[in-house]
Amino acid sequence: MSTQDTHDHPLFARFWKLAAPGAMSGRDRDTLLGGLQGDIVEVGAGTGVNFAHYPVGVTRVVAVEPEPHLRAEAARHVAAAPVPVEVVDGTAESLPLADASCDGAVLSLVLCSVSDQAAALAELERVVRPDGELRFYEHVVAHRARPAAFQRLLDRSGVWPKLGAGCHVARDTSTALDASGFDVVEQRRFMSGLGPFALPHIAGVARRQSSTMATSATTA
Ligand SMILES: C[S@@+](CC[C@H](N)C(=O)[O-])C[C@H]1O[C@@H](n2cnc3c(N)ncnc32)[C@H](O)[C@@H]1O
């Protein structure tokens, strides 16, 4: 089934073409992707702004993007990549990839927007080989009660998710990662954004648990 019906956000796509370079610095994108090797799936690739930052040890990137205007823009950025990149339609919750077919996965500013974080992380667990890596960079809910309450209000109002094509600012992505089949092995927490628009972020590396595959093979 095409994802176009539920992920067609032309206004957001226009906005993100302008906003993506400022949403995350080039240095942060280099850090996010540095040292990756082998076959990688990038989920929610947006305009393809990460493509130029992949290190040469990467043999192939499958860039999954459900929004058609962003996907077209990402296809235009393939030429800027130092490694082979294929841009495909799909969602985090249903990746068009075989089990254990990737050495690593990349998420930048995506788990705020997926419809089901647990399902998205379970899909990544399925396609990333045991011991493979997940690199992430995400904005998250604040630790302090008042900013967190304001973030929840923004999400509940429906206005923010509508403007941001499904973006939620109050998600506890750190807890979702801890509950997934990945072990977070590196994580930094920091504020990013301008003045009153700064949000808490997490970025780091999680490793796919090697026992998960064995368990599902035993119970299958
Ligand atoms: C804020 S943009 C970030 C784009 C890009 N990763 C970046 O770093 O600039 C969020 C992206 O997630 C995508 N997205 C939203 N829901 C998704 C889903 N269920 N599965 C995969 N991608 C999704 C959007 O289409 C958009 O490209």
Chain segment 138-165, per-residue pLDDT in tens: 999 999 999 999 999 999 999 889 989 9
For residues 48 and 112, the answer to whether their CB atoms sit within 8 Å is: no
For residue range 161-186, what is the model confidence (pLDDT) as tens digits?
998 999 999 999 999 999 999 999 99
> Is pLDDT at 204 greater than 70 in this prediction?
yes
> Is pLDDT at 197 greater than 90 in this prediction?
no
How do the residues of the chain divide into helix, strand and coil, expressed in percent and rounded to 5? 40, 25, 35
φ/ψ (deg, to 5) at 11? -70, -45
Cα separation, 47 vs 122, whole angstroms? 25
Which tokens go with 62? 């499958």
For residue range 1-30, what is the model confidence (pLDDT) as tens digits?
444 458 999 999 999 999 999 999 999 999
Most informative mutation of 17, 113, 160, 171 for ligand 1 (most atoms within 8 A of CB): 113
Model pLDDT, residue 4: 47
For residue range 36-50, what is the model confidence (pLDDT) as tens digits?
999 999 999 999 999
For residue range 58-96, what is the model confidence (pLDDT) as tens digits?
999 999 999 999 999 999 999 999 999 999 999 999 999
Model pLDDT, residue 5: 57
pLDDT band at 196; cut points 50, 70, 90: confident
Superfamily for the 4-211 domain = Vaccinia Virus protein VP39 (3.40.50.150)
Atom of ligand 1 minimally distant from the CA of 91: 20
Indicate the pTM of the whole model. 0.94
Distance from residue 214's CA to the centre of ligand 1 (Å): 31
Atom of ligand 1 minimally distant from the CA of 92: 20
Residue 108: which of 56, 170, 51 has the closest Cα?
51
Q: What is the dihedral of CA 86, 89, 91, 94, to 10 degrees?
A: -90
Distance from residue 215's CA to the centre of ligand 1 (Å): 31
- Locate all alpha helices (DSSP H) within the chain, ordered by sequence: 4-7, 10-23, 26-33, 68-77, 117-127, 145-157, 159-163, 173-178, 211-219
pLDDT band at 211; cut points 50, 70, 90: low
> Is pLDDT at 220 greater than 70 in this prediction?
no
Average pLDDT value over all residues in the chain: 93
The contacts of residue 74 (CB under 8 Å, 6+ apart) are 45, 46, 47, 48, 51, 63, 65, 87
Q: What is the dihedral of CA 133, 137, 140, 142, to 10 degrees?
A: 110
Atom of ligand 1 minimally distant from the CA of 67: 25
For residues 201 and 189, the answer to whether their CB atoms sit within 8 Å is: yes
Query: In the 8-state DSSP scheme, what is residue 57?
Result: T
Cα separation, 169 vs 158, whole angstroms? 11
